[in-house]
Structure 1
């Protein structure tokens, strides 16, 4: 079960990191102004930063658990 969560977190982190747009690109702000799903571009970026950081912490915690158990 823990390994399944680890794989899902890994895939989500890869997707989030690859889909992040550079600061000079207007992709995220354009999407945020067309649909009100993410709110303002700054709040959307803040949410993605927090979500990415939380995912990284979960990934490291599970990796540490796997290393200590083997």
Structure 2
């Protein structure tokens, strides 16, 4: 069960990291702004920061639990 949740969290973290486009990358940032996928840039950045930190904490918790049980 924990392995499946860990896999899902890992994929979620990879997706979140790809969504965090650097400001210098004009092509991807203009696409995100024009399509308004994540709302305004400041709220989107704050949401992605919280989502990243939460995902990392959950991932570490699951990894620690799996290492202690095996």
TM-score in terms of structure 2 length: 0.78
Write out per-residue CA displacement over residues 4-52 of structure 1, whole angstroms, 9 at most, x where no aligned residue.
1110001111122133210223467645653455221100011001001
Aligned-partner Cα distance in 2 for 1:15–1:54 = 14
Q: CA RMSD in A?
A: 2.0
Segments of 5+ residues of structure 1 without an aligned counterpart are none
Q: What is the match of residue 45 of structure 2?
A: 45
**What are the within-5 Å matches in structure 2 for residues 1-70 of structure 1?**
1-26=1-26, 30-31=30-31, 33-70=33-70
Query: Partners in 2 of 1:28 and 1:58 — Cα distance?
Result: 28
Contact 1:29/1:41 (8 A) holds in 2: no
Contact 2:2–2:66 (CA under 8 A) maintained in structure 1: no
Q: Which moved more, 1:32-41 or 1:45-54?
A: 32-41
CA distance in structure 1 between the partners assigned to 2:28 and 2:50 by the alignment? 16
Q: TM-score, normalised by structure 1?
A: 0.78
Q: Which runs of 5+ in 2 are unaligned?
A: none
